[in-house]
Amino acid sequence: MMSSEVYAEMRPDLFSERRSQTSDRAMDLGLAEDHFSRPVGSFVASDIEQLKMAIEECKRLILELPEHSERQKDTVVKLIHLRLKLQELKDPEEDEPNLRVLLEHRFSKEKSKSVKQNCDKCSTIIWGLIQTWYTCTGCYYRCHSKCLNLINKPCVRSKVSHQSEYELSICPEIGLDRQDYRCAECRTPVSLRGVPSEARQCDYTGQYYCSTCHWNDTAVIPARVIHNWDFEPRKVCRSSMRYLALMIPRPVLKLREVNPLLFNFVEELVEIRKLRQDILLMKPYFITCKEAMEARLLLQLHDRQHFVENDDMYSLQDLIDISSGRLSCSLTEIHTMFAKHIKLDCDRCQAKGFVCELCKEGDILFPFDSHTSVCHECSAVFHRDCYYDNSTTCPKCTRMTELHFSSYNNLEITGE
C-alpha cells in the first residue's frame, strides 16, 4: 500500500470526466511538495519505491488523459517533479569542496543551476538543480562530482603548455586493427558496425573513439587549412575539440616553412603580410615616442601581440579571420591609425622621416610608405623609382664607408 505522504486523492477537477474507476485511482502526485529542497536525514528504500510507484501512476494517467489537454500538461509537469525528486534521493548533494585538483585538472565547483550541460565522463545530463558538478578552469572539462574520481584523462591545457604544436598531417589514420578495435582514449571495444559501440573517427588525430569520447563535435582542422585552405569544420573527439579550442589563438604556424606556396594562391595572405611588415616598421617610432606610449597605440593589437613581434607566425584564428575578411578590415584600420600618428599628428615622429637622397625632391618619406624602398644595409629610405633606376650604390652607404675609412686613416696617422 502506498504511503499517504506520497499519494493522496487528486482533486476531481484536475481530470476529465472519465469512468469512476479512473477517478478513484487518481492520486495526488506530490506537486505541492518542495521537490527542489535538499533531503533532510537519511532515506530508506521504501521512500524511493513509493516515488517509483507514483511515477508509474502518473505515466498511466498521462496516457489516459485527452491528448494536448491542459490536464495532461499539468500531469506531465508533476511527472517531471517526481522524477527530479527521485534523482535527488538516489544522488543526494553532499558538502563538496569548491576546488579539486586531479590529473593537472583544476576543478571548480559550479554554482549555475539553470544551464543544461552534459558530463564529459559519463555523457549523461548534469541536472544543475539537484546535482553537484565541476568545471576544469584550464580545459573546461565538465563532470558530475561522482564522476571526478573516474577521470583518467589529464588536463588538455598541460599538453598545450608542453606541446604547442599541431598535427599537420591530414587525418593520419592508422586503422582500427592498430587500435586493437578499442577506443583510442578509454579503450572501450568499438567497431564500425556499432557493436558493442560505434567507432567514430576524429578528423584531427585520425584515430577512432567510442560515442562517450566522441560526441560528433566539429572544429576547423589546422592541417586542412594549411595544405588546402579548407575551413570546413570536421568531426573531432572531445579531447581534440578542447585542445584545438585552447590552441586556436596561439601563433605557432610558420606558413613560409610549412607551405610557402600558399602565398602564391591566397591574395589575402600577401595583403596581411605587407600590413604586418609595415607595422613592424612603425614600431620603432612608437617605442621612442612619448605621446604614442601614453596613448598605448601598440595595445590596439593586444589580442594579436605576435603582430608587433614578427611577420611570419600565424595562429589558426588569424587564418580563419583572414579567410572571412575580418582581419583585413581591422588590421587596415589599425595601420591607418598608426600611419596618421607618425605622418600627421606627431611632430616628433615626423622629424624621423627621410628625404630621398637620389632625387632630393618630394615629401618626407617613411619606410612603410607604399611608394618607397629601403636600403637593406643602412635602412635609408628612397623613392622606389629612384632606388631601382639608380646605377650606383646607396648614397648613405657610400658616405658611411668614406667616413669609416677617413676615421681609420686618421687613427693610423695619429698612431705614427
What was the pLDDT predicted at 181?
Answer: 93
Cell numbers linked to 194: 556499432
What are the pLDDT tens digits along the chain (416 aa)? 344 333 333 333 433 433 333 333 334 444 444 444 434 334 345 577 888 888 888 888 888 888 888 888 888 888 887 877 776 666 554 556 788 888 888 888 887 666 678 888 888 888 877 778 888 988 888 888 888 888 888 888 877 877 778 999 999 998 999 999 999 988 999 998 877 889 999 999 999 999 989 999 999 999 999 999 999 999 999 999 999 999 999 999 999 999 999 999 999 999 999 999 999 999 999 998 998 898 888 888 988 999 999 999 999 999 999 999 999 999 999 999 999 999 999 999 988 888 888 887 778 888 888 888 888 778 888 888 887 776 667 888 888 887 776 665 555 555 55
What was the pLDDT predicted at 253?
Answer: 94
What was the pLDDT predicted at 235?
Answer: 96
Q: What is the largest CA-CA distance in the chain?
A: 131
What was the pLDDT predicted at 390?
Answer: 67
Cβ(201)–Cβ(173) below 8 Å: yes
Q: How far is CA 42 from CA 47, 48, 83, 91, 93, in A?
A: 10, 12, 19, 12, 12
What was the pLDDT predicted at 17?
Answer: 38
What was the pLDDT predicted at 204?
Answer: 96
What was the pLDDT predicted at 177?
Answer: 92
What was the pLDDT predicted at 385?
Answer: 80
What was the pLDDT predicted at 89?
Answer: 63
What was the pLDDT predicted at 176?
Answer: 92
What was the pLDDT predicted at 411?
Answer: 56
Would the pTM count as exceeding 0.95?
Answer: no
In degrees, to the nearest 5, what angle opens at C-alpha 226 toward C-alphas 225 and 227? 100
Helix (H, G, I), strand (E, B) or coil at 360: coil
Q: Which of 130, 105, 134, 102 is nearest to 119 (CA)?
A: 134
